[in-house]
Amino acid sequence: MARIVNMTRDALGTLTHIVGEVADLQHASSLIEWDEQVLMPPGGAELHGQMTATLRKLAHQRFTSDEVGRLLETLTPQVASLPADDDTRRTVAATARDYTKARRVPAEFVAEQARTCSAAHHAWVQARAASDFSVFEPLLTKIVDLKRQYVDFHPKEAHPYDVLMDDYEPGMRTADVNAILATLRTRQVELIRALGARPQVDDGFLRVPYDEAAVYAFATEVITTMGFDFSRGRQDKSVHPFASGIGPHDVRITTRWVPGDPLSLLFSTMHETGHALYEQGVNPAYMRSLLGGGASLGVHESQSRLWENLVGRSLPFWEHFYPALQARFPSQLGHVSLEQFYRGVNKVQPSLIRVESDEATYNLHIMLRVELEIALVEGSLSVKDLPDAWRDRMQDYLGLVPTDDASGVLQDIHWSMGSLGYFATYTLGNLISAQLWDTFGTVHPERDADMRQGQFAPLLDWLRTAVHQHGRKFEPQELVQRVTGSRIDPEPYLRYLDTKYRALYGA
């Protein structure tokens, strides 16, 4: 028995060492990718692409080695008798799952994909600035081709898109997402029509000039109050806001300034801070292991959407923060009441840009993207026809037609990063955020009173205990069930939208 225990301990130690080295390589690659989008001079694009490709390839080769396979064969039966939620058992299970998937993919393919995505990102930046899809089209075509190859490396699923989604939302399938989106589509379109029949909200006070530096300073004050730890993180600017976790002690977020929409900077900052708080709250013991990071992109998005919307667009939040914002901008807001401001930041109006859309219409933007991605992967839509398909669906869903590529097909960074299969996680995040919000309100009835006093520690502490600390220890559906008592369910989110917006619009 002692010999078996020693063998298990030795195998686990070796596996932990190898996975730690893989994590180091992946984090180094993430740091280079962050640098590309924040600090890199334009001339460094090709070199950065090569560095990223090399690091991703080395990490893949190290992780998919025969040695890791032998270690997992030794450990899997040995840890099977441990409690179901034991860290060691979960670590081995997560490692085995990732190993099995990674072994199907050649290392050269991983390097080629990294090089292509690096080049595609810079092409996308240029294309977006020029509002010219043709600049991005060749590299996006290559990315889609690579994604189809990637699907072919894996066992056949009910739908090829299942393979891509599983990388971001383990266990979720295309049929599941389509069913959720169908439920949301019917109810949200009904809500939007009801609100559209009511007098429109005046938000003209948000369409006048604001000082960017002053808004940035206010946003920094807000996220500091939320609990973002600047000793373990930083904030910068980029073309598209994002969060990058190099581990719980180095989490970086970015934001951007949108002329004519001053609070876009605030809400995008709060959104990315939601991601960052999750990463900063993961159990430090999981650092450099496959339990580090979030349970899924949907769970990750639940954190960003919770802080951005359920907190940031709530009346109790602004009961605390609005006087400070008014003091910073007396000429713009001195004559605007709290009630007017609250209605303004929750105005429902179809818009072209996803990240600037309101809560009631946001999921329609996601439906459009998911449908286009599925068509690209199936081959029923070619990349060259993507701008026209985008315009057609925008007309169908939101009654708007982009007049240029920058406000249409080029507005999101995700495809340039090769992140096909990602977009559905935003909607899943919306659903999970409402479930978590309801649960927290039940266990902590003082939720709204705390926000009125600018007290966010109770919410963050609860999220740290219920969600953050577990990292990837639990699969997403399992985690949501443990915390809320239900699997991912659209009803709480639909109820939240209906209650909030019908009251706000008198509908």
**Maximum C-alpha span of the chain:** 77
In three-state secondary structure terms, 245 is strand
Give the number of domains in the chain: 2
| 415 token code pair | 């495809």
Do residue 284 and residue 342 come from a single domain?
yes
Residue 40 is assigned to a structural domain of this protein: yes
Of the residues 156, 184, 211, the one at which a domain ends: 156
Q: What is the reported pLDDT for 298?
A: 97
CATH of the domain at 330: 1.10.1370.30
Do residue 140 and residue 203 come from a single domain?
no
Q: Distance of CA 327 to CAs 100, 218, 262, 341, Å?
A: 57, 11, 16, 14
Do residue 217 and residue 355 come from a single domain?
yes
Residue 363 is assigned to a structural domain of this protein: yes
Q: At 239, is the pLDDT very low, low, confident or very high (cuts 50, 70, 90)?
A: confident
Residue 261 is assigned to a structural domain of this protein: yes
Residues 463-504 have pLDDT tens digits of: 999 999 999 999 999 999 999 999 999 999 999 999 999 999
| pTM for this entry | 0.94
Q: How deeply is 453 buried, as exposed, middle or buried, from its count of CB atoms within 10 A (0-12, 13-18, 19+)?
A: exposed
Inter-residue contact 452 to 338 (CB < 8 Å): no
Q: At 2, is the pLDDT very low, low, confident or very high (cuts 50, 70, 90)?
A: very low
Do residue 472 and residue 500 come from a single domain?
yes
Residues 30-56 have pLDDT tens digits of: 999 999 999 999 899 889 989 999 999
Do residue 205 and residue 65 come from a single domain?
no
Residue 161 is assigned to a structural domain of this protein: no
Inter-residue contact 259 to 277 (CB < 8 Å): no
Do residue 211 and residue 113 come from a single domain?
no
Residues assigned a catalytic role: 272
Do residue 259 and residue 148 come from a single domain?
no
Residue 86 is assigned to a structural domain of this protein: yes
Q: What is the reported pLDDT for 6?
A: 59
Residues 355-388 have pLDDT tens digits of: 889 999 999 999 999 999 999 999 999 999 999 9
Q: How deeply is 389 buried, as exposed, middle or buried, from its count of CB atoms within 10 A (0-12, 13-18, 19+)?
A: middle
Of the residues 99, 123, 156, the one at which a domain ends: 156
Residue 353 is assigned to a structural domain of this protein: yes
Q: How deeply is 276 buried, as exposed, middle or buried, from its count of CB atoms within 10 A (0-12, 13-18, 19+)?
A: buried
| Nearest of 433, 467, 436 to residue 283 by alpha carbon | 467
Q: Which residues are within 8 A (CB) of 439 and not within 5 positions of it... i.e. 6 or more apart?
A: 466, 483, 484, 485
Do residue 271 and residue 301 come from a single domain?
yes
Do residue 189 and residue 60 come from a single domain?
no
| 347 token code pair | 């105005």
Do residue 414 and residue 286 come from a single domain?
yes
Q: What is the reported pLDDT for 356?
A: 85
Q: What are phi and psi of 231, to 5 degrees?
A: -75, -15
Domain that holds residue 64: 2-156
Residue 166 is assigned to a structural domain of this protein: no
Do residue 235 and residue 129 come from a single domain?
no
Residues 285-321 have pLDDT tens digits of: 999 999 999 999 999 999 999 999 999 999 999 999 9
Of the residues 156, 185, 213, the one at which a domain ends: 156
Do residue 105 and residue 236 come from a single domain?
no
Q: What is the reported pLDDT for 5?
A: 55
Residue 258 is assigned to a structural domain of this protein: yes
